[in-house]
Amino acid sequence: MPPAVPPGSEPASRRGVPASRPAMEKMSRSGAALGGAALSGRTMFCHLDAPANAISVCRDAAQVVVAGRNIFKIYGIEEEQFVEKLNLRVGRKPSLNFSCADVVWHQMDENLLATAATNGVVVTWNLGKPSRNKQDQLFTEHKRTVNKVCFHPTEVYMLLSGSQDGYMKCFDLRKKDSVSTFSGQSESVRDVQFSIRDYFTFAATFENGNVQLWDIRRPDRYERMFTAHNGPVFCCDWHPEDRGWLATGGRDKMVKVWDMNTTRAKEIYCVQTIASVARVKWRPECKHHIATCSMMVDHNIYVWDVRRPFIPSAMFEEHKDVTTGIVWRHLHDPYFLLSGSKDSTLYQHIFKDASQPIDRANPEGLCYSLYGDLAFAAKESLISSDSNRKPYIGDRRHPIFFKRKLDPTEQFEYISSSSALSVFETDVESGSMDWFVHTAKQYALAGRPLAELCDHNAKVAKGLDRNQVAQTWTMLRIIYSSLGTVSSANLNHSMGKGSAALPLMNSFNLKDIPSGLGSESRLDRSKGESRTENILLDSSSTLINNEDNEETEGSDVPADYLLGDVEADEDDLYMMDHENPHAEEQEYSLPQEAFPLRHEIVDNPSALDHLQDKADSPHVSGNEAETVSLTPVESFSLISISHSLYENRLPSDFFNPIVRDTLLFYAEQGDVQTAVSVLIVLGDRIRKEIDEQTQEHWYTSYIDLLQRFQLWNISNEVIKLSTCRAINCLNQASTTLHINCSNCKRPMSNRGWICDRCRQCASMCAVCHHVVKGLFVWCQGCSHGGHLQHIMKWLETSSHCPAGCGHLCEYT
Partner 1 sequence: MKRGSAAAMAGGGAGGGAAAAAGQYRVCGNCRKVPRQEKRVQVSPPLTRGPSAFIPENEVMQANGLDERTNLLVEEYSTSGRLDNITQVMSIHTQYLESFLRSQFYMLRMDGPLPLPYRHYIAIMAAARHQCSYLINMHVDEFLKTGGIAEWLNGLEYIPQRLKNLNEINKLLAHRPWLITKEHIQKLVKTGENNWSLPELVHAVVLLAHYHALASFVFGSGINPERDPDTSNGVRLIAVNNFCVCDLANDNNIENASLTSSNFGIADSLSELEALMERMKRLQEDKEDEEASQEEMDTRFEKEKKESLLVISGAFDDEIVSTDVSRYIEDPGFGYKDFARRGEDHLPTFRAQDYTWENHGFSLVNRLYSDIGHLLDEKFRMVYNLTYNTMATHEDVDTTTLRRALFNYVHCMYGIRYDDYDYGEVNQLLERSLKVYIKTVTCYPERTTKRMYDSYWRQFKHSEKVHVNLLLMEARMQAELLYALRAITRHLT
d(CA 416, CA 379): 8
- Closest separation in Å from C-beta 720 to partner 1: 15
Of the candidates 581, 657, 587, the one whose C-alpha atom is nearest the C-alpha of residue 620 is 587
Considering beta carbons, is residue 150 or 295 the nearer one to partner 1?
A: 295
Name the one range near partner 1 by CB under 8 A: 129-137, 296-304, 542-550, 706-714.
Answer: 296-304
Of the candidates 592, 588, 562, the one whose C-alpha atom is nearest the C-alpha of residue 577 is 562
Considering beta carbons, is residue 571 or 671 the nearer one to partner 1?
A: 571
d(CA 776, CA 785): 7
Q: Is 570 a residue that touches partner 1 (CB under 8 A)?
A: yes
| Residues 578-607 close enough to bind partner 1 by CB under 8 A | 578, 580-581
Q: Are 227 and 204 in contact (CB under 8 A)?
A: no
Give the three-class secondary structure for 365. strand
Number of residues that bind partner 1 (CB under 8 A): 51
Name the one range near partner 1 by CB under 8 A: 282-290, 410-418, 665-673, 731-739.
Answer: 731-739
Q: Which helix (H) or strand (E) holds 380?
A: helix 380-385
Q: List the one residue from 43, 356, 732, 789 that touches partner 1 (CB under 8 A).
A: 732
Q: Is 97 a residue that touches partner 1 (CB under 8 A)?
A: yes
Q: Is 272 a residue that touches partner 1 (CB under 8 A)?
A: no
- Cα-Cα-Cα-Cα torsion 579, 584, 588, 590, nearest 10 degrees, comes to 70
DSSP string, 297-308: S---EEEEETTS
Of the candidates 595, 648, 657, 667, the one whose C-alpha atom is nearest the C-alpha of residue 625 is 595
| Residues 64-83 close enough to bind partner 1 by CB under 8 A | 69
d(CA 43, CA 330): 15
| Residues 647-666 close enough to bind partner 1 by CB under 8 A | none
Q: List the one residue from 408, 733, 737, 780 that touches partner 1 (CB under 8 A).
A: 733
- Closest separation in Å from C-beta 590 to partner 1: 20
Of the candidates 592, 602, 610, the one whose C-alpha atom is nearest the C-alpha of residue 638 is 602
Give the three-class secondary structure for 515. helix
Q: Which helix (H) or strand (E) holds 458?
A: helix 450-463
d(CA 33, CA 11): 9
Burial of 581 (0-12, 13-18, 19+ CB in 10 A): exposed
Q: Is 295 a residue that touches partner 1 (CB under 8 A)?
A: yes
Q: How many residues does the chain have?
A: 812
d(CA 98, CA 89): 7
Considering beta carbons, is residue 131 or 734 the nearer one to partner 1?
A: 734
Give the three-class secondary structure for 487. helix
CA–CA distances in Å: residue 673 to residues 146, 664, 665, 702: 61, 12, 12, 6
Q: Is 296 a residue that touches partner 1 (CB under 8 A)?
A: yes
The answer for 592, left when phi > 0, alpha when psi is -120 to 50, beta otherwise, is: alpha
Q: Is 115 a residue that touches partner 1 (CB under 8 A)?
A: no
Q: Is 322 a residue that touches partner 1 (CB under 8 A)?
A: yes
- Closest separation in Å from C-beta 53 to partner 1: 9
Considering beta carbons, is residue 392 or 574 the nearer one to partner 1?
A: 574
Q: Is 143 a residue that touches partner 1 (CB under 8 A)?
A: yes
Q: Which helix (H) or strand (E) holds 266?
A: strand 266-272
Neighbours of 87 (CB within 10 A): 12
| Residues 735-794 close enough to bind partner 1 by CB under 8 A | 735-736, 750-751, 754, 756
Considering beta carbons, is residue 165 or 455 the nearer one to partner 1?
A: 165
Please name every residue paired with 247 in a beta bridge, in sequence order, or none if there are none: 237, 257
- Closest separation in Å from C-beta 687 to partner 1: 15
Name the one range near partner 1 by CB under 8 A: 256-264, 289-297, 430-438, 604-612.
Answer: 289-297
Q: Is 270 a residue that touches partner 1 (CB under 8 A)?
A: no
- Closest separation in Å from C-beta 97 to partner 1: 7
Q: Is 47 a residue that touches partner 1 (CB under 8 A)?
A: no
Q: List the one residue from 19, 32, 96, 543 that touches partner 1 (CB under 8 A).
A: 96
d(CA 507, CA 630): 12
Q: Is 734 a residue that touches partner 1 (CB under 8 A)?
A: yes
x/- letters, 163..182, toward partner 1 (CB under 8 A): -x------------------
Name the one range near partner 1 by CB under 8 A: 17-25, 96-104, 106-114, 330-338.
Answer: 96-104
Name the one range near partner 1 by CB under 8 A: 79-87, 330-338, 438-446, 733-741.
Answer: 733-741
| Residues 191-250 close enough to bind partner 1 by CB under 8 A | 207, 231-232, 234
Considering beta carbons, is residue 30 or 344 the nearer one to partner 1?
A: 344
Neighbours of 480 (CB within 10 A): 22
Sheet holding 333-341, edge to edge: 44-47, 345-350, 333-341, 323-330
Q: Is 537 a residue that touches partner 1 (CB under 8 A)?
A: no
- Residues in contact with partner 1 by CB under 8 A are 69, 93, 95-97, 99, 101, 117-120, 140, 142-145, 164, 188, 207, 231-232, 234, 251, 275-276, 295-297, 299, 320-322, 343, 566-567, 570, 573-574, 577-578, 580-581, 732-736, 750-751, 754, 756
